[in-house]
Amino acid sequence: MSQRTVTIGSKVGLHARPAKLFTAAAAATGTKVLIAKNGGTPVDASSILRVMTLGAKFGEEVTLTAEGDGADAALDQLAAMLASDLDAVAE
């Protein structure tokens, strides 16, 4: 199992537009990716509702996990997205 811990870079956290961009990218990887706030229950990273219910705010850490072929590449891509200000990209 591959894992990455990343700090949320979007100033609004994983809410609305940043969550939409992130979940679309997670779904496009073709790999089952889970996301969790530290100490929390992992949720499906391709589900916008589940990702938004995490309540991940700017500066908080989340952990991404995935298994199988392409897991490392998928997590690298998604971690880079989360570390950037996705709200600025969405405008």
In the chain the domains, ranked by start, together with CATH numbers, are 2-90 (3.30.1340.10)
Asked whether residue 79 carries a pLDDT value surpassing 90, the answer given is yes
Tens digit of each residue's pLDDT (9 = 90 or more) over 3-31: 999 999 999 999 989 999 999 999 999 99
Residues paired with 36 in a beta bridge: 63
Which residue from 11, 35, 31, 29 is spatially nearest to 90, judged by alpha carbons? 11
Which residue from 14, 38, 16, 27 is spatially nearest to 77, judged by alpha carbons? 27
Active-site residue (options: 15, 25, 35, 82): 15
Tens digit of each residue's pLDDT (9 = 90 or more) over 27-67: 999 999 999 998 899 999 999 999 999 999 999 999 999 99
Question: How far apart are the C-alpha atoms of 62 and 81, rounded to whole Å?
Answer: 12
The dihedrals phi and psi of 57, each to the nearest 5 degrees, come to -105, 165
pLDDT value for 70: 93
What pTM value is reported for the model?
Answer: 0.92
Asked whether residue 76 carries a pLDDT value surpassing 50, the answer given is yes
- Does 15 participate in catalysis according to the annotation? yes
Q: What is the mean pLDDT of the chain?
A: 94
Question: How far apart are the C-alpha atoms of 34 and 90, rounded to whole Å?
Answer: 23
**Of all helices (H) and strands (E), which one includes residue 43?**
strand 43-44
